[in-house]
């Protein structure tokens, strides 16, 4: 028998070390027939530097959870804290600033700017966040090198492979050195090779201390994360 008291409140420093703390989060969407209760009381803790995979059946609320952590959507009830700060019930200006400084978001279908080069895809978000163009370009080049795309700076996304495009999208998400890297099925549109490329990259970023929350349907991809949580019917399973 262990004497560890699992119900004890974590010590103060453990609480401070949380990157994400969600308590009792509820989110209901209006729909034609009946309201959809996408989140029904989600509790989730993610420590700084953790790499967490979120799994669960389609419609269980994974994307909704990621969106409320990202400040892309807001809860109806409950609290959401990122880096010790409440992000629920903020106005759109505050959330836009929060996203620029704290959140890097990676989408299933990349959402890159098709008409511009890989380099410009990275420079733009930096400039939008207030970096000087030179600094943004230098950061963009560093990231492209880091992510193995250093020889692709002038190419447009269309000529890159799926895995390369997603690595470019991850680079873009990292431009502003986000507190959180959030990814919604980042390997969902890739073949297994491209998926493993992306997973390897996440693992490297995690080794360097990046906090990552990744939604995935793939048990193989989830196995590469440090921890997997399972959602069902709008809740995180204990
Ligand atoms: N903007 C919205 N308006 C109405 N209903 C929504 C909206 N966003 C999500 N929903 C509904 O909320 C529920 C949860 O959706 P969510 O996208 O979070 O699921 P998911 O777990 O990400 O599913 P998938 O694995 O298919 O991506 C679903 O029933 C979905 O139809
Ligand atoms: Mg989803």
Classify residue 205: in a domain, yes or no: yes
Which protein residues touch ligand 1 with a CB less than 6 Å away? 29, 31, 36, 38, 56, 58-64
pLDDT for residue 202 is more than 60:
yes
Classify residue 152: in a domain, yes or no: yes
Ligand 1: residue of 64, 75, 186 to mutate (most ligand atoms within 8 A of CB) is 64
pLDDT for residue 4 is more than 90:
no
Ligand (nearest to CA of 67): 1
What was the pLDDT predicted at 129? 86
What is the residue-averaged pLDDT of the chain?
92
Classify residue 224: in a domain, yes or no: yes
Kindly report the CATH number assigned to the domain that includes residue 66: 3.40.50.300
pLDDT digit string, tens, across residues 44-84: 999 999 999 999 999 999 999 999 999 999 999 999 999 99
Classify residue 32: in a domain, yes or no: no
Could you tell me the strand order of the sheet in which 77-82 lies?
36-47, 18-29, 77-82, 85-86
pLDDT for residue 8 is more than 80:
no
Looking at ligand 1, which residue's alpha carbon is closest to its atom 7?
29
What was the pLDDT predicted at 1? 43
- Number of structural domains (the chain) is 1
**Dist CA 37 CA 92 (whole Å):** 23
Classify residue 200: in a domain, yes or no: yes
Determine if the pTM surpasses 0.95: no
Classify residue 2: in a domain, yes or no: no
Classify residue 202: in a domain, yes or no: yes
Classify residue 135: in a domain, yes or no: yes
Task: Supply the range of the domain harboring residue 208.
Answer: 49-73+91-236
Q: Which atom of ligand 1 is nearest to the CA of 66?
A: 18
Distance 189 CA to ligand 1 centre (A): 18
Q: With beta carbons less than 8 A apart as the criterion, state whether 47 and 206 touch.
A: no
3 pLDDT band, cuts 50/70/90, is: very low
């Amino acid at each position: 028998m262990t004497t560890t008291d699992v119900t004890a409140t974590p010590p103060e420093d453990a609480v401070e070390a949380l990157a994400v703390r969600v308590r009792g989060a509820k989110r209901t969407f209006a729909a034609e027939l009946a309201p959809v209760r996408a989140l029904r009381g989600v509790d989730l803790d993610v420590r700084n530097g953790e790499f967490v995979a979120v799994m669960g059946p389609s419609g269980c609320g994974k994307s909704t959870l990621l969106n409320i952590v990202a400040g892309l959507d807001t809860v109806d009830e409950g609290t959401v804290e990122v880096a010790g700060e409440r992000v629920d019930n903020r106005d759109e200006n505050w959330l836009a600033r929060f996203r620029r400084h704290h959140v890097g978001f990676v989408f299933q279908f990349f959402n890159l700017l098709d008409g511009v080069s890989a380099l410009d895809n990275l420079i733009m978000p930096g400039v939008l966040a207030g970096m000087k163009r030179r600094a943004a370009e230098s950061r963009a080049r560093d990231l492209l090198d880091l992510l193995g795309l250093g020889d692709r700076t002038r190419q447009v996304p269309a000529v890159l492979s799926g895995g390369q495009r997603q690595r470019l999208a991850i680079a873009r998400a990292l431009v502003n050195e986000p507190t959180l890297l959030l990814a919604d099925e980042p390997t969902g549109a890739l073949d297994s090779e491209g998926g493993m490329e992306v997973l390897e990259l996440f693992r490297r970023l995690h080794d360097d201390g990046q906090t990552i929350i990744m939604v995935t349907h793939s048990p193989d991809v989830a196995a590469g994360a440090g921890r997997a949580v399972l959602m069902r019917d709008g809740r995180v399973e204990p």
